[in-house]
Structure 1
Amino acid sequence: MVEQAKPTDETDGRSGRRDRGAQRKYRLPTEDRLTRAAIHYLDRYSSSLENLRKVLTRKVKRAATANGRAPEEFREIVDQVVEKCRRAGMVDDRTYAETKLAGLRRRGRSKRQIEATLASKGVDRDLIATVVDQDNTSDLEAAQTYARRRKLGPWRTRGQREERREKDMAALCRAGYSYDIARKVIDAADDGEATSAAV
């Protein structure tokens, strides 16, 4: 008879994984550790300066709290790391805003949604206005893209169009489009008419 090893207090008995309730050990943040964390984050995600600052601040807060220290002690280190990333060209708010805008427009997002998304990521309001003003895509074109992706209005099957009209209009309005634009897209006779209305 083979004796099985008993799980320790910190693991749940399955291949040494930590129990969800076990306390994770956090090391105190240093400039080097935070720089590595920032590089790792920026390798995976595009970010604005303020968003990177928020990500690093959350990391610092977890580590400082776990070690009985005040997160405010490490604020200067976070600022230094963010500035270092900016100087190295790893973070640029204008490039981030332009890239994010292009991606959101491809998914059919409205001007309002784009402005709100960029503002939530900490992009300066003046920069948001500049980038959005340079965008050549009209809200009507974006609304058509949104409706096509969600199969609303003219992109629905014939039998469902009339009974789902109000819900389709509401979906476009919730997505940040005006009632007038929603009506033009949803009431187009077919997807060809909806597309030609934007031109």
Structure 2
Amino acid sequence: MQAKPKFKAPTEERLRRSALHYLERYATSETNLRRVLERKVLRACVALELDPADFSDMIESVVESCVRIGLVNDRTYAETKVAGLRRRGGSARKIEAQLAAKGVDRDMIETVLQDDTHTDEDAARVFARRRRLGPYRTTDKRAERRDKDLAAMCRAGFAFETARRIIDATDAAELED
């Protein structure tokens, strides 16, 4: 039987160490770091029967110091996330949704996506190649799987016309041109 975790009352130093430990492992946005620290404080407060609202100033102080010294930068985070998702075949809609979920500002998301050199068409080709959809399919059942391939592309956030162009291409070489 495992012993219950022993919580200590949150202090600014403990929160700062937790933030640094989290930032060593993950790139994140300012809002997401705040959420992570709030969850940590909430768990400790529930165990110790404290009021989590008493620690909100500490959380803000830690997040602001991380932003001030450059450990957290929403623009850099968004640019990195966009580049990685585009390489893996992420659509603009999917990227926008993921960045919004992490708390990146809508204006920042639009700016970063406008600066992105990759198009949804490029990302759709990468997605189709990775998932072996349409012309990248290795089996002879391509016609039977057409609707399912289109649905997969649309669920991934690609426009129907883009998905149709990719899936209905005669072969992979036609897409690469």
Shorter-chain TM range is over 0.9
Distance between the aligned counterparts of 2:132 and 2:85, measured in 1? 18
- Bigger share in helix: 2
**Partner in structure 1 of residue 137 of structure 2:** 156
Question: Segments of 4+ in structure 1 off by > 3 A?
Answer: none
The TM-score, its normalising length taken from structure 1, stands at: 0.87
Deviations, residues 91-149 of structure 1 (Å, cap 9, x unaligned): 00000000000001011010001111111111111111100011111111100000101
Q: For 1:159, what is the secondary structure of its paired residue?
A: coil
Match of residue 37, structure 1, among 9, 18, 27: 18
How big is the alpha-carbon RMSD for the aligned residues of Structure 1 and Structure 2?
0.8
**Partner in structure 2 of residue 51 of structure 1:** 32
Aligned partner letter, 1:29: P
1:179 Cα deviation from its structure 2 partner: 0.8
The answer to whether the Cα contact below 8 Å between 1:141 and 1:195 also exists between their aligned partners in 2 is no
2:56 is aligned with 1:82: no
Size of the alignment, in residue pairs? 177
The answer to whether the Cα contact below 8 Å between 1:31 and 1:77 also exists between their aligned partners in 2 is yes
1:166 Cα deviation from its structure 2 partner: 0.5
Distance between the aligned counterparts of 2:29 and 2:164, measured in 1? 35
Gaps of at least 5 residues in structure 1 are 1-11, 13-18
Q: For 2:141, what is the secondary structure of its paired residue?
A: helix
2:7 is aligned with 1:26: yes
Distance between the aligned counterparts of 1:179 and 1:146, measured in 2? 14
Distance between the aligned counterparts of 1:158 and 1:115, measured in 2? 34
Percent of aligned pairs with the same residue? 55
Distance between the aligned counterparts of 1:173 and 1:43, measured in 2? 35
Matches within 5 A, 1:96-135: 96-135=77-116
Q: For 2:10, what is the secondary structure of its paired residue?
A: coil
Match of residue 66, structure 1, among 38, 44, 47: 47
Distance between the aligned counterparts of 2:175 and 2:168, measured in 1? 8
Aligned partner letter, 2:30: L
Gaps of at least 5 residues in structure 2 are none
Distance between the aligned counterparts of 1:38 and 1:55, measured in 2? 8
2:171 is aligned with 1:190: yes
Aligned partner letter, 1:195: E
2:157 is aligned with 1:176: yes
Distance between the aligned counterparts of 2:98 and 2:31, measured in 1? 13
1:23 Cα deviation from its structure 2 partner: 2.6
